[in-house]
Each structure stands twice: as C-alpha cells, then as structure tokens.
C-alpha cells in the first residue's frame, strides 16, 4: 500500500492522534471491546478486563503515548512508528512496574538512545524499535521474543493503556484481552489497506465480528502467548489496522520472529 494510506491506519500514539497524552481516572476497563454475545446483548462492561498487578510485569508505558515490553533490563522493544529516528534521545520516559500509571510505586526511567529499524516503511517491513534506558529496571522480569514461527498461531494476549474504543481517551489502568490468529489470506481479503499486508513481516489477529482489538495508544505494545514451556513469548508488536475493533478489520502486528535476529543484534550494540 502507499505510505500515506499505511500511515493513516497506524495504531498511532496518543500524541500522534491528540497532541498530548490524557490519562482518564476510571475509564472503561478495556484494551478492546469483546465480541457481542450470540443474542446481541453487549456485556455489562464493554471491553476486556483490568490486568492484575504483576500479571504482565514486563509491560512498559512510554511518555510519547505508546506501549512497549522490557526486552532486557535496560532495553524496551516498541514500534518504529512510535519514534522518529535512530540516535541519542533523552526525551522519552518509560513507566514500569505498575498497572496503575498514577501509582506512587511506578518506576520511571529516562531514555538515552533509540534504534529504529532500518527496514521500517520499506517493502520488507519492520515496524520495530529499541529504546535504551538510562539505567536497568532492576527486579522487573523481561519478555522474551519468538525466534521461530512456531508460536505465530492460536490465541494471543494483548494489553495496553490505549483507548478503550476507537478515538477514545488513554487509560489509567493496564487492560487486557485475547484475540485469535487470522491467516494472511483472510487478512488480505479484508481489502483496503489490508491488501498490502507484508506476509513475511506482519501477522494479523482479531475476531471476524470485531469487538476485540488494540487501539490508538497501544502502538508498540506486545502481542504474546505461552510457549511450550508455559512461558510468555512476544510474537507481535502492535502496528496498524483500519480503526479499532471493526468487523472484518483485524489488528496487524509486526511479526517478531521475522526480525528476532535483527532485534537481538541491534540490542547487543546498544
């Protein structure tokens, strides 16, 4: 697809869509709305559920309004479209260790450097970036990444502090939901921007009827599942989609396994 069309479908950061990050006190607890029940009645709380403290300890909130996951104690993995370029950068604050962004227990660490995927916005794809922190996030577990396509299927978990509905405000509390894998063929058949899906670099997930999805402000956050050892592994990075939770319009994620070697190499140089 064209660059302009693709950019308009990004799960943009809060800053990109609103000019500033707005945290809502007790907003609807949903990373995305669940599908309607068979009788057409929506659940009482539209959306997923709040994550428990410590449930996904490697989740990171970035001050430009994106999400991320702690890849090493001092490096956050996020989306390339959340940052502008590779180079020294001390303007980003990472918030870690809490589900409530207003908690007095939150750990806040400034960035020192950003590495943006050199293949981002090219025909080979690569919507990923690394943010080096000024100091290690001591005592916080990291999230390993998928190095093979073995886990690019099944049901995935998603989490973030982004909007609970399309165009909605950012959330105070970390919210979670689950979405099923969508094949490349089905994803491309959604039409529009999806016809330009880069099969080797992107992975889709969502319900045919919509209702569950990541949304604006969730960019850069992980899509993850358990591996064969029962450990969490990151298989996707929130990238783009047409709107949020629309029927027939799944979420599109950077396929982490495709870029695992490049990610590891870049991290080793930071």
| Residue that wins the pLDDT comparison between 37 and 27 | 37
- Point out the catalytic residue in the list 13, 81, 111, 115: 81
Find where tokens 């057409």 sit: 40
Q: Evaluate if residue 56 carries a pLDDT over 50.
A: yes
User: What is the Cα–Cα distance from 206 to 42, expressed in whole angstroms?
Assistant: 18
User: What is the Cα–Cα distance from 106 to 157, expressed in whole angstroms?
Assistant: 23
Q: Evaluate if residue 28 carries a pLDDT over 90.
A: no
Mean pLDDT to the nearest integer, 101-119? 98
Domains 20-52+144-257 and 59-142+259-269 share a fold: yes
127 is catalytic: yes
Domain ranges of the chain: 20-52+144-257, 59-142+259-269
User: What is the Cα–Cα distance from 256 to 126, expressed in whole angstroms?
Assistant: 9
Q: Evaluate if residue 261 carries a pLDDT over 60.
A: yes
User: What is the Cα–Cα distance from 165 to 50, expressed in whole angstroms?
Assistant: 15
- Provide the pLDDT for residue 165: 86
User: What is the Cα–Cα distance from 251 to 223, expressed in whole angstroms?
Assistant: 10
- Point out the catalytic residue in the list 117, 219, 239, 257: 219
Q: Evaluate if residue 41 carries a pLDDT over 60.
A: no
pLDDT band, very low/low/confident/very high, at 47 (cuts 50, 70, 90):
low
81 is catalytic: yes
Residue-wise pLDDT for 140-167, tens only, equals: 999 999 999 999 999 999 999 998 888 8
115 is catalytic: no
Mean pLDDT to the nearest integer, 175-203? 96
Q: Evaluate if residue 93 carries a pLDDT over 70.
A: yes
- Point out the catalytic residue in the list 13, 111, 117, 127: 127
**44 and 38 in contact (C-beta within 8 Å)?**
no
Q: Evaluate if residue 243 carries a pLDDT over 50.
A: yes
Mean pLDDT to the nearest integer, 118-136? 96
pTM of the model: 0.87
pLDDT band, very low/low/confident/very high, at 34 (cuts 50, 70, 90):
very low
CATH number for the segment(s) 20-52+144-257 = 2.40.10.10
| Residue that wins the pLDDT comparison between 169 and 240 | 240
Mean pLDDT to the nearest integer, 198-223? 94
Mean pLDDT to the nearest integer, 124-132? 97
Of the candidates 90, 86, 76, the one whose C-alpha atom is nearest the C-alpha of residue 237 is: 76
Q: State whether CATH 2.40.10.10 applies to domain 59-142+259-269.
A: yes
């Amino acid at each position: 697809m064209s660059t302009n069309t693709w950019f308009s479908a990004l799960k943009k950061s809060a800053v990109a869509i609103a000019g500033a990050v707005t945290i809502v006190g007790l907003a609807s607890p949903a990373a995305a709305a669940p599908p309607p029940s068979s009788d057409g009645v929506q659940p009482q709380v539209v959306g997923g559920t709040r994550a428990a403290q410590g449930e996904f300890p490697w989740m990171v909130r970035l001050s430009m309004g994106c999400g991320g996951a702690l890849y090493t104690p001092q490096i956050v993995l996020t989306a390339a479209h959340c940052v502008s370029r590779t180079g020294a950068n001390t303007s980003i604050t990472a918030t870690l260790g809490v589900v409530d962004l207003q908690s007095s227990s939150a750990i806040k660490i400034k960035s020192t450097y950003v590495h943006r995927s050199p293949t981002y916005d090219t025909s080979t794809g690569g919507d990923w970036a690394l943010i080096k922190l000024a100091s290690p996030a001591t005592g916080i577990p990291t999230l390993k990444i998928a190095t093979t396509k073995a886990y690019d299927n099944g049901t995935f978990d998603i989490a973030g502090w982004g909007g609970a509905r399309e165009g909605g405000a950012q959330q105070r509390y970390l919210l979670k939901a689950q979405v099923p894998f969508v094949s490349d063929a089905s994803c491309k058949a959604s039409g529009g921007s999806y016809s330009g899906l880069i099969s080797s670099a992107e992975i889709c997930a969502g319900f045919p009827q919509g209702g569950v999805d990541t949304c604006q402000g969730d960019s850069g956050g992980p899509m993850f599942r358990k591996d064969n050892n029962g450990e969490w592994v990151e298989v996707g990075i929130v990238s783009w989609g047409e709107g949020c939770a629309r029927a027939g319009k799944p979420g599109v994620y950077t396929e982490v396994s495709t870029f695992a070697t490049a990610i590891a190499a870049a991290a080793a140089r930071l």
